Amino acid sequence: MDHEVDKLLSNPYAASLVYVSVTVLSLIVFLSLFELVTKYKCWSEIKKGNLAVAMATGGKIFGICNIFRFSIESNDSVYVSLIWGAYGYVILLAAYFLFEFLTPVFRIDDEIARDNRAVGLTAMIISVSLSYVIGATVII
């Protein structure tokens, strides 16, 4: 099986399609996990026009994809890239909980659900910024 996959990935067009497909599937799974840990429902809030949720979710999407970008760039196997991408996601998720913990003055999820755009923007910037730091650590 590995031999067939290696043969497939030797074609740059097929490799591109495989990496993008793996990243999109991972993005769907990881966003679903974020949805489980937040107090609000991202897509229904976005549909209602909640800009804070849209910014926070956009930051998560960018963060996850950016981590995968570094992972793909740094590894020569789709499997290793997937492992590093998942590892980076776990760190990003842990950072989300740390952000919630380090702001005892208010609840991040509650503020984002109330469309507090300052908190939504801050959450977006944290996700984007940390994705660069996390991504830099996947380079072996």
Residue 117 phi, psi (nearest 5): -70, -30
Domains: count for the chain: 1
Nearest by Cα to 129 from 55, 66, 69 = 66
Going by the DSSP 8-state scheme, the letter that residue 39 receives in this structure is S
pLDDT bucket at 1, cuts 50 / 70 / 90 = low
Q: Is the pLDDT of residue 132 over 80?
A: yes
CA 128 from centre of chain: 9
Query: How confident is the model at residue 97, as a pLDDT?
Result: 87
Could you tell me if residue 115 is left (phi over 0), alpha (psi between -120 and 50 degrees) or otherwise beta? left
Q: Which domain holds residue 91?
A: 2-137
Place of tokens 């996850």: 64
Over the stretch 73-103, which tens digit does the pLDDT of each residue have? 987 788 888 999 999 999 999 988 888 888 8
pTM, two decimal places: 0.89
